[in-house]
Amino acid sequence: MALQWIDISSADDIERIISRSREVPCLIFKHSTRCNISAIARYRLEDDWESTPEEIETYYLDLLRYRSVSDLVADTFQVYHESPQVLLISNGTCIYDASHLDITVEELKEILETV
C-alpha cells in the first residue's frame, strides 16, 4: 500500500503526533520542495514502502512553507535540523532520524521491528 501522507502545518500537529505515537509509530518526513535530494528521498520512500496505516502513520512537512514548525520539530525531538530528514517517533520520543540519501526504507523497517 502506498504511503498516506498527513500534512503537518502547525504546532498542534506536533502535539497530535506525540499523542498518536503512543499508539502507533509515526514517521515525519521533512521535505524541501526546492531540493533535488529531497525529491529523491521522497521518491525512494514512496516507491519502496509497503505498509498499512495500522503499522505506521506517515506525516509530511513542507519545511519551506512551515519553517517555524520545522524548527519546532527539531527543538521538540532534540534533533539537528536537516533537509530532507525523517524522524521516527514512538512513545513521544524520536527513536531514529536520518537525512539526505541516508534515508532508506530498509533501515526504517529494521528500526520499526524493534518498536
Structure confidence by residue, pLDDT tens digits, 2-24: 678 999 999 999 999 999 999 99
Helix ranges, 11-89 (H): 11-20, 36-48, 67-77
Structure confidence by residue, pLDDT tens digits, 24-70: 999 999 998 888 999 989 888 888 777 655 688 999 999 899 999 99
Reduced to 3 states (helix: H, G, I; strand: E, B; else coil), residue 92 is coil
Q: What's the total number of domains in the chain? A: 1
Residue 26 belongs to domain spanning? 5-113
Q: Which helix (H) or strand (E) holds 98?
A: strand 93-99
Cβ-contact 81, 71 below 8 angstroms: yes
Residue 82: CATH number of its domain: 3.40.30.10
Structure confidence by residue, pLDDT tens digits, 58-96: 999 998 999 999 999 999 999 988 889 999 999 999 999
